[in-house]
Structure 1
């Protein structure tokens, strides 16, 4: 490998030798060797300034980094000691430093704070014995504290009104289902910031205000008054208002404010209308329609005011509880990580004696990875470094600090831990305070080859052109020290581009992206010579190995798609981040067994356990057992007709044994017994990667042991704790040790890859919008120190939204830095996803930004196209080279992995295989016609993208994955809308809000209840539903009929029986709004509706005279009918029978009886 000149040698010399007596602030880009410079500065300080290693503090971000730093410092002193040219005095200093290395203050900021508290426990107000709780213990303690707090709230009479209003509005104290936003999450966030709660707690708290519905009442009165002035009673807007006013007046007439609050909560959005004429009203109809909006706005304002008051009061009670818990921990000596920092800082602020002692002892403080540390760190370091005074000033930047006492090193472009209190604004402020004439910059990158550095520089110079004060640094380009002299092309590989369908779903984008990732990794495995990597141990280039590949993902959202694609391509992989393990099937199976044993009434977990490979019960086994017993209970006896050899009976017998023993064994022993008895490790051989399965099983067992050691722990508590680990942001112990013989690519989160480097990096999961607001509870801190809280869109404190806009901008900046961190993990090869939606903002997603840049700068990267030049090797060769992937004609090796064809030339086998597959498919085609086809499957012959039910409008790249469940509805919003319309009373739909809320809770989308309600109200306002009110109708009607040899089946949303015949009504919630979009959807759905018509006519003998699609939008309903219904029905019969157009039988409906 060729090493280029180091252009910043002067800056490095300043850090390690010439600037020891100066306070330096170093901005070190990725891969610039900052750890080496830090070690050299420490060694030089000991040798040149005659400072003992024990007088130096070095703080870094992780325990692993601290351990590595200690090892490298010791190794540096040992090398100096072994050098015969080292002077005697320096040899003595080296020997003393080696002896002091294990006792030196080289640790994380939490470790350093713990050291201070243990040395000055009396000054800190701590008991003689102090223990530091790990993450497991802290989470469990929080669970118990919260349960006790909620019990106390319910026992206190003074909180009765508060809790009553909270229940009416739907503000849960604890989640009623997994993932529901509740005040328990607020308490967890407050626990990580309890030192900031004094302002909130000490502020005067006003009592709950009286509920005020006067604006709503006035708005309804105004609408009723205007309705009386209508000149045309048949005007559609007048009819619409007539349908709304009864339910509005019902709410107005309620005298009990609690009943009124509940009624508004259930129904706070009345449907809008697009109709009305000026002639009927004597003014533009839009002015009348706006009065409906005024009613909705007044209702929402009343609810928002009531909700904000409840949230504010609960927030103050929660804050007081969290602070009291922190004080109890200090008194009891059981401290959490954040307690260490707060108590150490408060001790330093209060005690000049402690500051004097620490100032005299620690003469130099070096802060590594400064961009990602807690803001308390800078104040701790400044108080120790500054000359002690009786009363320190209020701000750390005002402290008088002697030159050379402090040293900072970090990279603001790698600040990616805002969710753990890292503050880019603080980094920039410290740089301005301590940087003097300017920070010292390290720009020479020793990690990555030049072509990748060139691409990174160009991309981020465009994305971060100027510094945004307090928010984003200006990008400073890196200089590559490594030349790409392997003889291959090392430019980044950009795979994927704009999807041709601008309405493509996020899932489809992720599937396409994951498929390309699988193809790239497969290419590395099959053609390693095409991916040379530099082996530092061998000091030469060598072909790539599978373990050289790291697939980095920003979040776990894309992980299921990625794993499926890798499995399809037979690509081995391992999950290198602990938090990802809880999403694997084998771990879910084990936890299902434990849940079934812990709670015999948990039927879902019991069946999941029985169907898992651990017990191997088939669906037939489950059916025969249930037919004999009619209920699921592991405590029951063997049902009649079955013997002890039945698989389910045997499985339940084992589970019963575990259930009987559950009181006497902890979760770790119970888990170990399941693994042993059910041969879990042996079952790993059924996976293509058994070593990976064993690794995950051992990891979970170790986690269970850690839980028991921390808690003494019962199984139910362990299961609750394990459920927490599947959430984003869960602080699980990250690294998993690989098997020693494991040669496979690894999958990591970008956060988990921080500080690491890999020969080949593939960036996946880049289809998500950077500016997405994080789902769930949001707690934001204003400049006044008062937190603003949001549980869901309609429940938040008054000032949350203004602050959220700034927070969203800060999140977008951080996610851009996350992309920089990911790209700079690569040493020799980098592949980046460019999969994104066509149209719109190219910077709307990471992949869109990458693709747009590649289109504008194609020379800096190379494309990846399956079936093109990349099929035989990734990317074009360097000009002037001969590709070694071209098949030879003399029998010499050609394409890697290709066998010889029948005529002896390589590559013919691939062509023969393609031909054989085509012939086989043609032979089997007549036998592949399904015996049963759903109406949706028939429609897919026209538009393959049609889902089992319409998707909601959030199915874009910016939508978080919605819950998918069994049943007809394919999306969470679509299912909720259809279910609500199934139960709501058409004649008096007063309970829409309540039904919608219930369905949204079942679908785990409570924040979208307003959207669901609006879509339901749109359907209720349609002419189709109006028709149903006048005739007999059936909802969610299952229909099936045989056409030829195929059975057509499906569910009809609404079937209206009119004197003229049947009318099929199908609700659509797929977000189409413009006339062009709706017309396109009608064309796509035409066969689906016609299929219902064919099945109904065949099964009932009644004619279907109309098939209507009701597109439910937030602006009201849009209805379309199939214009040529008879022609569409013929096409359905042709599609089902496979006959050419016009050949299939087209029987007219006859008098075959009726089911109605």
Structure 2
């Protein structure tokens, strides 16, 4: 009865997802399987369409995926996938059961073993109908490293007699490389070292690994080298980018990042889940939430306590007291609260929260005037969130903030161009702990150490692999339920120990599950060890209660847990922490601040940090060229950079660009247009960006919907007329016929002291080269305005030519009348 209730709940939730059109990945697999299984016509259609099937990484296949594959590869109409008669030559599978490490994603090693057995049986019964080949040559690792892997994993990875499918037999590898020499380093603590707590062992291990990395990179004695075909003799000392720290999970990962920071080792922590829990992401979400609903006092307080404003509880209390006192004077007892209204700042209040509150109120007043991505970008820059990350040396943090802007752009394009739904989406993502790829700030040439989980590193390789946190235990909670999909059965256990209920088959199912989970942990160690090309580093730091992978290695390497010995298979060298060069420690200076001047000191340090974070080369936006000099980044960059370069004529109420309003030394120029003209220009740019050049009417409908979503329905007729006229222009006719068309083409060029960045509204390639088009929504531009616009297009042309691409022509396309204005590019 309990299972029936649970099944009804699951089926009801699935029906609701289908009704709402929000299917999960698992739903898609399930419906695809059902379609193939229940509809013979569909099955036959896809069999004809896909004559051959190749499945890579087959060991990671889950039951639904395997069933889909078998239904497509069968030549009969089976009742179930096990009844499928495979057509010879139709199915090609590639996999390594020793690398099956995705049980949490329903990957089933039983299915791999069962299908492999079917192939072997078919090959024996009807030679030529099937074949199983074993690939044993290792092209990645040095010979001594391959020898170590064979010696260790022949013991660690061995079948279980009671559950033969839980673990495959180990197949020895054969090294292809011929460069011999030690390849495994065991890093042991100093003799006599010991720890009672796991965090103490991890802290010492992290510090030792930071020292080891520095010594390897600085090594010039040739003891530790990596292969490099471009280096003299084909080998060189390791660089930071050659090193990867692998961990089983991210628990206590901050101990390792702190040690790397302290030692000055550059690194990048590749994350995934937890993206929305990064402090800079939470700060941005808190500020956006407050701006979305200025009446939400909790959100406003969270925004004030975020990193850009750093309001303390004492400061908030003083503001509340000031509100109460002002209310008493005015005959309005009580306090005004923390809503972003005028009353939040009582008359005469000049405390530290005045500036932050005025900043938030100013930003809240602008949210209706800008598209969502431009507004989010403005908020991040006006609050200096980006500079705060850069001042702390957190390139990743700054890049993660840029991801939020990109997500806002995606949300506006695919969902709705409005702040409130986007804020709700951010909140949903955070609560659900959904995975989000962090910014890919590390490229091949970035000289940084990578920190990855073993699952993230699967399929990758590195010259030097350090297997950190080897003593960490697996993340295994007590199994409350165990599912047997073949039998269609769920066994479970509920209740506290003294009143526990379990189904009759629960104990056996749990024991089986434990065997399979333990076998997968050993395969996880194998995957980690086989990521290394030249060196595998194994730090031997553990407590008696936390052994983790060390318990597995101890089975293959007797004496491994004896810290007084130097134990290892062939190709191993042992280092003690005391043998490593010491990491220079910064001098410690006692700092005793004067309580009276503490806040002023903090303000000075904070301002200096912001200045350092914003310092950089001169930054030039093409819409700002043609003046005496470049814009200086510290004074004006946060405002100027927030202006969407695709909307250079988007001016504020006072006639200046929104991004530069208030910047006394701004170098930007814009025609004196009002708010309505600004909104019309932005809508036209967005409409042309989204337009289908082959379907003008659909493009008009799209921009009309966009205007309704932004509350600008009064502009529909005017914008629709201009959009139709622009889409009918000869220039866009040429774009329709072009071999390549790019919209909002991003361009960035740099020299020693200047960075230029911009977006070309439209670029299309003709036989003579690229044609650049910049949209302008001015009704009657002055000669000065046109000259400025021409300089902008010439700058775009010079930036694109700097990449080696030919530029044939440039145009200003005035959307008000469809007029095309050729720009002399070499003037």
Taking structure 1 as the reference length, the TM-score comes to: 0.43
Provide the rounded CA distance (Å) in 2 between the counterparts of 1:702 and 1:566: 30
Q: Does 1:371 align with 2:59?
A: yes
Which of 493, 510, 525 is the matching residue for 2:186? 493
Instruction: Tell me the SS of whatever aligns to 2:578.
Output: coil
Deviation at 1:366, TM superposition (A): 1.8
Provide the rounded CA distance (Å) in 2 between the counterparts of 1:791 and 1:427: 32
Deviation at 1:370, TM superposition (A): 0.3
Which of 1, 6, 13 is the matching residue for 1:322? 13
Q: Does 1:447 align with 2:447?
A: no
Q: Does 1:424 align with 2:120?
A: no
Residues 1:337 and 1:629: Cα distance change in structure 2 (over 3 Å): same
Verify the 8 A CA contact 1:628 1:641 in the aligned structure 2.
no
Q: 1:459 maps to what in 2?
A: 152
Provide the rounded CA distance (Å) in 2 between the counterparts of 1:433 and 1:322: 37
Deviation at 1:614, TM superposition (A): 1.7
Deviation at 1:425, TM superposition (A): 0.8
Residues 1:377 and 1:722: Cα distance change in structure 2 (over 3 Å): closer
Instruction: Tell me the SS of whatever aligns to 1:837.
Output: coil
Q: 1:151 maps to what in 2?
A: none
Residues 1:550 and 1:832: Cα distance change in structure 2 (over 3 Å): same
Q: 1:396 maps to what in 2?
A: 81
Provide the rounded CA distance (Å) in 1 between the counterparts of 2:174 and 2:456: 25
Tell me the alpha carbon deviations over residues 579-598 of structure 1, each in whole angstroms, 9 at most, x when there is no partner: 35444332233233234445
Equivalences for 1:464-543 in 2 at 5 Å? 464-466=157-159, 468-485=163-180, 489-496=182-189, 504-527=196-219, 531-536=224-229, 540-543=234-237
Deviation at 1:501, TM superposition (A): 5.7
Provide the rounded CA distance (Å) in 2 between the counterparts of 1:855 and 1:835: 10
Q: 2:35 maps to what in 1?
A: 347
Deviation at 1:432, TM superposition (A): 0.5
Deviation at 1:339, TM superposition (A): 3.5
Instruction: Tell me the SS of whatever aligns to 1:492.
Output: strand
Deviation at 1:806, TM superposition (A): 2.9
Q: Does 1:732 align with 2:436?
A: yes
Residues 1:814 and 1:859: Cα distance change in structure 2 (over 3 Å): closer
Residues 1:385 and 1:798: Cα distance change in structure 2 (over 3 Å): same
Instruction: Tell me the SS of whatever aligns to 1:820.
Output: helix
Q: 1:405 maps to what in 2?
A: 90
Tell me the alpha carbon deviations over residues 896-922 of structure 1, each in whole angstroms, 9 at most, x when there is no partner: x9xxxxxxxxxxxx8xx99xx8xx99x
Q: 2:461 maps to what in 1?
A: 757
Equivalences for 1:573-972 in 2 at 5 Å? 573-579=267-273, 581-598=275-292, 606=300, 609-617=303-311, 621=315, 624-625=318-319, 628-629=322-323, 633-635=338-340, 637=343, 643-644=349-350, 646-659=351-364, 668-689=373-394, 691-712=395-416, 714-724=421-431, 727=433, 730-733=434-437, 736-738=440-442, 742-770=446-474, 772-774=475-477, 780-781=483-484, 783-788=486-491, 798-799=502-503, 801-802=506-507, 803-838=509-544, 854=560, 857-860=567-570, 861-868=572-579, 870-871=580-581
Tell me the alpha carbon deviations over residues 52-73 of structure 1, each in whole angstroms, 9 at most, x when there is no partner: xxxxxxxxxxxxxxxxxxxxxx
Give the number of equivalent residue pairs. Answer: 558
Tell me the alpha carbon deviations over residues 1025-1071 of structure 1, each in whole angstroms, 9 at most, x when there is no partner: xxxxxxxxxxxxxxxxxxxxxxxxxxxxxxxxxxxxxxxxxxxxxxx
Residues 1:369 and 1:545: Cα distance change in structure 2 (over 3 Å): same
Provide the rounded CA distance (Å) in 1 between the counterparts of 2:522 and 2:476: 15
Residues 1:706 and 1:351: Cα distance change in structure 2 (over 3 Å): same
Taking structure 2 as the reference length, the TM-score comes to: 0.59
Instruction: Tell me the SS of whatever aligns to 1:863.
Output: strand
Residues 1:432 and 1:534: Cα distance change in structure 2 (over 3 Å): same
Tell me the alpha carbon deviations over residues 1112-1133 of structure 1, each in whole angstroms, 9 at most, x when there is no partner: xxxxxxxxxxxxxxxxxxxxxx
Q: 2:815 maps to what in 1?
A: none
Q: 1:433 maps to what in 2?
A: 118
Provide the rounded CA distance (Å) in 1 between the counterparts of 2:166 and 2:408: 41
Question: Over alpha carbons, which structure has the higher Rg?
Answer: 1
Residues 1:647 and 1:737: Cα distance change in structure 2 (over 3 Å): same
Residues 1:837 and 1:670: Cα distance change in structure 2 (over 3 Å): farther
Deviation at 1:453, TM superposition (A): 1.9
Deviation at 1:414, TM superposition (A): 0.7
Residues 1:714 and 1:458: Cα distance change in structure 2 (over 3 Å): same
Q: 1:138 maps to what in 2?
A: none
Provide the rounded CA distance (Å) in 1 between the counterparts of 2:289 and 2:553: 40
Verify the 8 A CA contact 1:546 1:744 in the aligned structure 2.
yes
Provide the rounded CA distance (Å) in 2 between the counterparts of 1:353 and 1:841: 56
Deviation at 1:635, TM superposition (A): 2.5
Deviation at 1:447, TM superposition (A): 0.7
Provide the rounded CA distance (Å) in 2 between the counterparts of 1:431 and 1:557: 37
Equivalences for 1:1016-1055 in 2 at 5 Å? none
Tell me the alpha carbon deviations over residues 268-321 of structure 1, each in whole angstroms, 9 at most, x when there is no partner: xxxxxxxxxxxxxxxxxxxxxxxxxxxxxxxxxxxxxxxxx5xx4651331221
Deviation at 1:427, TM superposition (A): 0.5
Instruction: Tell me the SS of whatever aligns to 1:738.
Output: coil
Q: 1:561 maps to what in 2?
A: 255
Verify the 8 A CA contact 1:834 1:848 in the aligned structure 2.
no
Verify the 8 A CA contact 1:704 1:718 in the aligned structure 2.
no
Verify the 8 A CA contact 1:552 1:747 in the aligned structure 2.
yes
Deviation at 1:445, TM superposition (A): 0.6
Equivalences for 1:217-236 in 2 at 5 Å? none
Verify the 8 A CA contact 1:449 1:480 in the aligned structure 2.
yes
Deviation at 1:621, TM superposition (A): 4.8
Tell me the alpha carbon deviations over residues 633-690 of structure 1, each in whole angstroms, 9 at most, x when there is no partner: 142535558545x33121122223445666787875553222111223333331234x
Residues 1:337 and 1:499: Cα distance change in structure 2 (over 3 Å): farther
Provide the rounded CA distance (Å) in 2 between the counterparts of 1:552 and 1:563: 13
Deviation at 1:422, TM superposition (A): 0.8
Provide the rounded CA distance (Å) in 2 between the counterparts of 1:605 and 1:663: 19
Residues 1:724 and 1:792: Cα distance change in structure 2 (over 3 Å): farther
Residues 1:483 and 1:492: Cα distance change in structure 2 (over 3 Å): farther
Deviation at 1:411, TM superposition (A): 0.4
Verify the 8 A CA contact 2:30 2:64 in the aligned structure 1.
yes
Provide the rounded CA distance (Å) in 1 between the counterparts of 2:290 and 2:479: 29
Unaligned runs of 5+ in 1: 1-205, 207-308, 873-896, 898-909, 928-1156
Residues 1:739 and 1:351: Cα distance change in structure 2 (over 3 Å): closer
Instruction: Tell me the SS of whatever aligns to 1:556.
Output: coil
Q: 1:1070 maps to what in 2?
A: none
Provide the rounded CA distance (Å) in 2 between the counterparts of 1:401 and 1:663: 61
Provide the rounded CA distance (Å) in 2 between the counterparts of 1:661 and 1:635: 14
Residues 1:851 and 1:735: Cα distance change in structure 2 (over 3 Å): farther
Instruction: Tell me the SS of whatever aligns to 2:94.
Output: strand
Residues 1:589 and 1:782: Cα distance change in structure 2 (over 3 Å): same
Instruction: Tell me the SS of whatever aligns to 1:456.
Output: helix
Between structures 1 and 2, the one with greater helix share: 1
